[in-house]
Amino acid sequence: MKKERGMAMKANELRRMYVEFFEERGHKEIGSASLFPDNDPSVLFTTAGMHPLVPYLLGEKHPQGNRLVDIQKCVRTGDIDDVGDDTHVTFFEMLGNWSLGDYFKEESIVMSYEFLTEYLRIPVEKLAVTVFEGDEAVPRDTEAAELWMKNGLKEEQIFFYGREENWWGPAGRTGPCGPDTEIFYDMGKAKCGDNCGPACKCGKYVEIWNNVFMEYNKNEAGGYSELSQKNVDTGMGLERVLTIMNGFQNVYETELFRPIMKKIECLTDLDCDEGNTRMFRIISEHMRAAAFILGDPKAIAPSNSEQGYILRRLIRRAIRMIKKLGINENILCNIAEAVIEEYGGIYAELVRNKAYILEQLEKEYNLFSKTLDSGLKMAERYFSNLDEGSNLSGELAFKLYDTFGFPVEFTVELASERKINVDISEFEQKYREHQEKSRIGAGEKFKGGLADNSEQTTKLHTATHLLNGALRAVLGGSVYQRGSNINAERLRFDFSFHRKMTKEELEEVERIVNEAILKEIDVECKERTVEEAKAEGAIGIFDSKYGEAVKVYTIPGYSKEICGGPHAMNTGELKRFKIQKEESSSSGVRRIKATIG
């Protein structure tokens, strides 16, 4: 199925065309995994299609084979403040194709070129690519450049850049990594200068696809050796490609956002024009992201930490924009319903979890409305101590931001009504200091994890299976995993349960896990169809991500789960299991922290 030149393209058409193209070339489709990576504490969200596939990129055999294609839900949080422009979004869909030790650079580049120029009918002259320029450790990727020219690109369409632009990985301190070649679309704008190229931020070039060639292994000493299993990992942004294919200038003109924007117009009785366009865009984008995060089977709720904090930030920013439009009633749920209606046919979890999505949005709106009122009272107290023409310190402006969620622009607006200025320079300094502290803290917090594939994290992963089984044995079959986080020191396991566990229940769970460890049981792994796995009593959260065959890990008498691994070979390797803490994670979700050894 090829696109006719000049014809508009629908989102479903692009999704279907991409998957079918690679299926015709021997790839098996796998479904989207959760927005929250399993056992990878290095990131809060699934930011690319590679996260669910880390074990297989590291050498595990995938049940669907060594050629895969998928459409992965993703969230990236680094650009939240840029949302509202033409291209930046927090939630997006990543189209990806994978080779796990099968084809490599030539076939990958040939297929990418064919899909773009013959199936999407993008003119060759509108494309530009970047390749790795090489350094003292790894040579220049002349092979990729020559392959692009062999397929039809001219030399002036190929740009060489260093590691910052054209290198991926490793996911941890060591492991698979390699150069990439990124594909850009020329928007037709004039060059901003002699050095204007795809790495330039002027808007002439928009990245649409990235092909990563994992051909090296980085060791502890920082050296590189060639991998025996060389992988290809690609990612194409659905939103950006759809924008380009329809001749639009921004993602909000596409069908992915139009129904949501129309809903906001209807609810506010306002038109999306130049005066409020940015606010409309922020509300629609953040509510789309929030609906997907809340609709995920792991049931994350707004909170003051980790994924919950990001979710809260998105929702509250949307609330602020709604109030700036002059709307003082809760329309969040109405907007979320528009998102569910638009995407529910593709992502059934939004429909299944609709009640939870709406419930959490209602709670967060009510909570922030109280916080907003408190913040206004505090701001009034600050202003009452100042004369006209004086300055509100940046420290106090940052306190309003940090404590009450007031953006500095909102504080400036409040101050200007009283003819008071705000020390923006000091605020920005305080904000940068806050960001640096957060970055350092996150760096310490997220050391280790599945990405390093260490022996200890592998054992802890196995311990989560035993813990899950023990919890279901003690608390009942309505208990399901709602998330997990592993580092080299401990495991953290979230599960559905409505109350605090008793001391006796915790002791019994700990006893069951240690009983399994003492028995030194071999961990079994078998491939099954999803139907066979369910018939055998295996549990698994994300049915949509499974293909025709899955891996079922069994610890006889204690656990049977669908999982990608990795796992210990024998329960005896865990030595001893100890629960450190049991606490609330969010409404209806409890959390256990535990150690082994």
Q: How far from 75 is each of 20, 166, 295, CA to CA, in Å?
A: 25, 21, 13
DSSP string covering 100-140:
ESS--HHHHHHHHHHIIIIIS---GGGEEEEEE---SSS--
Q: Which residues contact 423 (CB under 8 A, 6 or more apart)?
A: 391, 392, 393, 394, 397
Of the candidates 535, 550, 585, the one whose C-alpha atom is nearest the C-alpha of residue 36 is: 585
Question: In this structure, are residues 417 and 384 in contact, taking their beta carbons and an 8 Å threshold?
Answer: no
* Maximal CA-CA distance, the chain: 76
Alpha helices (H) in 344-454, listed in sequence order: 348-352, 354-384, 394-404, 408-416, 424-445
Side-by-side strand order, sheet with 559-562: 524-528, 550-555, 559-562
185 forms beta bridges with: 127, 206
Of the candidates 359, 304, 299, the one whose C-alpha atom is nearest the C-alpha of residue 36 is: 299
Helix (DSSP H) and strand (DSSP E) numbers for the chain: 18, 18
Q: What share of the chain is helix, strand, coil (3-state, %, to 5)?
A: 45, 20, 35
73: three-class secondary structure by DSSP? strand
Q: Which residues contact 166 (CB under 8 A, 6 or more apart)?
A: 130, 131, 132, 133, 141, 160, 179, 180, 181, 182
**How many whole angstroms separate alpha carbon 368 and alpha carbon 317?**
10
* 567 known member of a binding site: yes
**How many whole angstroms separate alpha carbon 404 and alpha carbon 398?**
10
* 177 known member of a binding site: no
* 465 known member of a binding site: yes
184 forms beta bridges with: 128, 207
Torsion of CA 124, 125, 131, 133, to 10 degrees: 150
What are the backbone angles phi and psi of residue 130, rounded to the nearest 5°?
A: -120, 150
Q: What b/e sequence results for 415-429 when a residue is b if at least 16 CB atoms lie within 10 Å of its CB, and e otherwise?
A: beeeebebbeebbee
203 token code pair:
């808007």
Return the DSSP state at 293. Answer: H
Cα angle: 252, vertex 255, 261; to 5 degrees: 50
62: three-class secondary structure by DSSP? coil
Query: HSE of 31 in the Cβ direction (CA atoms, 13 Å)?
Result: 17
**How many whole angstroms separate alpha carbon 458 and alpha carbon 566?**
6
**436, burial (CB in 10 Å: exposed 0-12, middle 13-18, buried 19+):** exposed
Question: In this structure, are residues 566 and 544 in contact, taking their beta carbons and an 8 Å threshold?
Answer: no
* 74 known member of a binding site: no
**How many whole angstroms separate alpha carbon 306 and alpha carbon 591?**
14
Q: Which residues are annotated as a binding site for Zn(2+)?
A: 461, 465, 563, 567
Q: Which residues are annotated as a binding site?
A: 461, 465, 563, 567
